[in-house]
Amino acid sequence: MKKELILILICVTITSSVISAKTNTLIRYYDENNWIDVGQVVDENYFVNNLIDYNNDLYATHENKTYKYEGETNWSFAGEIEFHHIRVLTIYNESLYAGTDFGSIHRYDTDNLSWEYCGVAGPNCNHIHSFAVYHDILYAGTYTGNVYRYDGDTIWTYVGNPGNSTIELWVEELIVYQDELYAAKIAGFPPEGARVYRYKGDASWSYVGEPGKNENPHINDLIVYNDVLYAGNYDNTISMYEGDTSWKIIDEISDGAVNCFQICKDKLYFGTADHFHKQTHFYCYDGENPWFDLGMPINGTGSLTSLACYNNNIYGTGPVDFKGHVYRYNSDNGPPTKPTITGPTNGKPGIEYDFIFNSTDPENDPIMYIIEWGDDNTEWTEYGDSGEEIMLKHNWSKKGGYIIKAKSRDINDAESNWSDFKVNIPGNRATIYSLFQLFFERFPLLERLLTLIRAA
């Protein structure tokens, strides 16, 4: 199978190190040609700020300009907001909205390739940092730490400043989780802490904890995945909300700050932000197995600025070394081979036997195995290297003929066909002679009678 993200390495290596998200470990996996360049949107001295799928079209923004993806490596100009740089995009009531660095909000007109002015989110508001749709109403988080509710036309209503407005600055993220609105804020400048608040109505907010390590200065992103609220943090950690004010660190990433969550094909993706000139990486999580490092779209450094899911593919971009380009993770993926199964074909009830399973993936992706033992027991393995033999033990408690079925699956969910392997577990059958011996031991007079009859 082919990998789903772009990876350009000068020195081609394949490295695999297993880490579980539940044990603060990380699976790292490298290969080349995972990412496909889908075009240069702007001049190489600039970069793309945002990517979004709107009305089944992929849009990108740079400063105050909007671009539309036309396929292959082609992008077309699709309008601009005069004088104002676009900082954030969202979809509300089936329309595309943009928040700018002057605190204004605009609604996109696809027919005229223009942006309609929808007001400013409060006085002295010089940045829109985040949007969320809560109870069918659009909310905006700002650089001044205030949150505003959109009441239509150009009207925005103040709904509070979560936390301590004297030391806490911008609202980095707004998100709805379990039908409640949450806000992530940055404390101090330079940032000295990151806190999350829950909206209580009117202009009231309650404190719900601080994700990351003790001195995590920044929450880069919040997302709800499989009904769990996650925070991506500047201190390289991923945190999971456990209720009240409790956050649990479930992973720590070595390649930089966790940035730009995105859900695509029921998987959670994110990228890393540059820490001390480290290379940008992309990761994938399916909710059960460990995180996978899906490589780098560029051979260089820089922070990821945006991820988008478009046509069931992940698209990513960033500043500096991205040089105005957008990349698509390659999802043209082939399934692994049907597993071979080796082991004994006969056995006894209650005795454990070893069976070896082996499969290879055409793109050399990590693979796992699903085993049905024929006795209503099913086993799932962890991911391992393509071509690596996996040995599993099993026993059957009852006599009979059993068919072991096995298939392999790669990290992109491509599955092989099933393999079959028959095992016969006969019972401990006694011979007829043994039965007669047992019978005569119980009835010795009958044995003597039969002996006399035979002698007559």
Structural domain containing residue 136: 16-329
Question: Can you tell me the distance from the alpha carbon of 239 to that of 209, in angstroms, rounded to the nearest whole number?
Answer: 11
**Is the pLDDT score of 252 beyond 60?**
yes
Mean pLDDT rounded to a whole number for the chain: 82
Strand partners, 361: none
Strand partners, 66: 61
Segment holding 441, helix H or strand E: helix 432-442
Q: Of 121-130, 146-155, 281-290, which one has max mean pLDDT? A: 146-155
**pTM for the full model?**
0.71
d(CA 157, CA 48): 31
Please give the distance of CA 355 from its chain centroid, rounded to a whole number: 32
Query: Looking at this protein, which amino acid is placed at residue 44?
Result: E
322 shares its domain with 444:
no
CA distance linking residue 379 with residue 95, whole number of Å: 46
Q: Which residue has the higher pLDDT, 87 or 23?
A: 87
| 303 and 248 assigned to the same domain | yes
4 has pLDDT over 60:
no
Q: CB-based contacts of 351: which residues, under 8 Å, 6+ apart?
A: 395
**Between β-strands 325-329 and 313-317, what pairing exists: parallel, antiparallel or unpaired?**
antiparallel
Looking at the DSSP assignment, which residues form a beta bridge with residue 264? 267
- Whether 334 is in a domain gets the answer no
* pLDDT tier for residue 274 given thresholds of 50, 70 and 90: low
Predicted local distance difference test score (pLDDT) of residue 309 = 92
362: domain CATH number is 2.60.40.10
Backbone angles phi, psi at 436, to 5 degrees: -65, -40
The string of pLDDT tens digits covering residues 362-392 is 878 889 999 999 999 999 999 888 999 999 9
Shared domain check, 137 and 108:
yes
Burial class, 450, CB count within 10 angstroms (exposed 0-12 / middle 13-18 / buried 19+)? exposed
* Domain CATH number, residue 216: 2.120.10.80
**Chain-centre distance for alpha carbon 348:** 44
Whether residues 420 and 291 fall in one domain: no
Q: Is residue 1 part of a domain?
A: no
Give the tokens for residue 122.
Answer: 């409060």
Cα Rg for the chain, rounded, in angstroms?
30
Count of domains forming the chain: 3
The answer to whether residue 10 is domain-embedded is no
So what's the pLDDT on residue 320?
65
pLDDT tens digits along 77-124: 999 999 889 999 999 999 999 999 999 999 999 999 999 999 999 887
- Assess if residue 8 is contained within a domain: no
Say yes or no: 316 and 358 in one domain: no
* 37 assigned to some structural domain: yes
Q: Each residue of 315-369: pLDDT tens digit? A: 988 776 678 888 888 766 678 889 999 999 999 999 999 999 999 988 788 899 9
- The whole-number average pLDDT for the span 416-434 is 75
End-to-end CA distance of the chain: 82
